[in-house]
Amino acid sequence: MSLPQNQPVRDFAPGLPERARLIDELSHQRANPRRILPVINGKKVDTGTSSEMREPHAHARVLGTYASAGAAEADAAIKAATDARHDWAHTSPASRRAVFLRAAELLAGPFNAPLLA
């Protein structure tokens, strides 16, 4: 197994490609508001509630909405996690590692700009 390595530190100075990608993604998110739902046991759950997601540096801009989870959703999520615990505990270390490496690959790659924006 190789030693862990951090992602390179990115520079978002004017004129650099990282900055351009981030600006493009932020423009895309502004133009395409989203509704975010909690996912419990692999299924999206619409709780019927709605709160606005706003840009932290420009509070007047709404990027979308999200459904808030309450006690019932928390209980369902805890039950789903508890039910999955046995299978995860019997998953080989190599398979667990593969799951986390894939998640890291996605977060550092195609989902990086959306995550940062």
pLDDT at 48: 93
Q: How many domains does the chain have?
A: 1
Structure tokens at 65: 């909405």
Q: Which residues contact 80 (CB under 8 A, 6 or more apart)?
A: 40, 41
Round to whole Å and give the CA distance between 46 and 15. Answer: 41
Q: Within a domain: residue 112?
A: yes
CB–CB of 113/22 below 8 Å? yes
Domain that holds residue 68: 35-116
Q: Within a domain: residue 92?
A: yes
Round to whole Å and give the CA distance between 116 and 12. Answer: 11
Render pLDDT for 12-64 as a digit per residue (tens, 0 to 9). Answer: 999 999 999 999 999 999 999 999 999 999 999 999 999 999 999 899 999 99
